[in-house]
Amino acid sequence: MTENVRLDSVDAEILRRLQNDGRMANKELAAAVGIAPSTCLDRVARLRRAGAITGYTAQVDPAAIGRPIEALLAVQVQPHARPLVDPFVTHVLGLPETRAVHHVTGPDDFIVHVACGSSQDLQRLVLDEFTARPEVARLQTHLIFSTWPGGPLTPYRTTKDTH
């Protein structure tokens, strides 16, 4: 979202419900939030135009499609400069194992979430696609045993907003 959009409680409820079920029919969504279907359609369109809703996706279980090994790779690049960072990100996003790339602060520059078919596939990925690159100075692999997704993202409220 490029700017903060003023969201009322109905907008927040629309966002919450769509995050829980992006395939919810407009008529059902309107009834759930207590507004007319035409009003609901207009509000969803406004939220999309404003950038609050960026798209709709399917959630896929990596293990169900042959990728049961998930890991977070903490990567440090040297030097940490745009001429190296941009090609590195492009390379990582092009790997079929990549689920997400985060540019972060701290001792690591990137956290890369990957899903692989086996521990051998993960080892190959680390050695051939990451540590073989000259800009990768350090890499730590953190296996993911379990994941608990958070709830829907709701609008940020400051203390003064609640009064």
Query: Which of 9-13, 21-25, 51-55, 157-161 has the lowest average pLDDT?
Result: 157-161
Supply the CATH number for residue 101's domain: 3.30.70.920
Q: What is the pLDDT of residues 81-123, one digit of tens each?
A: 999 999 999 999 999 999 999 999 999 999 999 999 999 999 9
Cis peptide upstream of residue 96 (ω within 30 degrees of 0): no
Distance (Å) of CA 59 to CA 20, 62, 65, 99, 158: 11, 9, 12, 12, 31
CA pair distance 140, 31, nearest whole angstrom: 48
**40 & 93 share domain:** no
Task: Find, among 23, 83, 14, 25, the residue nearest to 52 by Cα.
Answer: 14
- The predicted pLDDT at position 42 comes to 97
pLDDT level of residue 161 (50, 70, 90 thresholds): low
Q: Which domain holds residue 132?
A: 62-143
**Long-range CB contacts for residues 104-107, cutoff 8 Å, separation at least 24:** 107/76
CA pair distance 158, 113, nearest whole angstrom: 31
Q: Is the pTM of this model over 0.75?
A: yes
Enumerate residues 6+ apart whose C-beta is below 8 A from 2: 51
Domain count, the chain: 2
CA pair distance 72, 43, nearest whole angstrom: 37
pLDDT of residue 162 exceeding 70, the answer is no
**77 & 102 share domain:** yes
- The predicted pLDDT at position 5 comes to 77
Query: Is residue 158 in a domain?
Result: no
CA pair distance 13, 108, nearest whole angstrom: 37
- The predicted pLDDT at position 1 comes to 41
Query: Is residue 163 in a domain?
Result: no
- The predicted pLDDT at position 159 comes to 54
- The predicted pLDDT at position 160 comes to 58
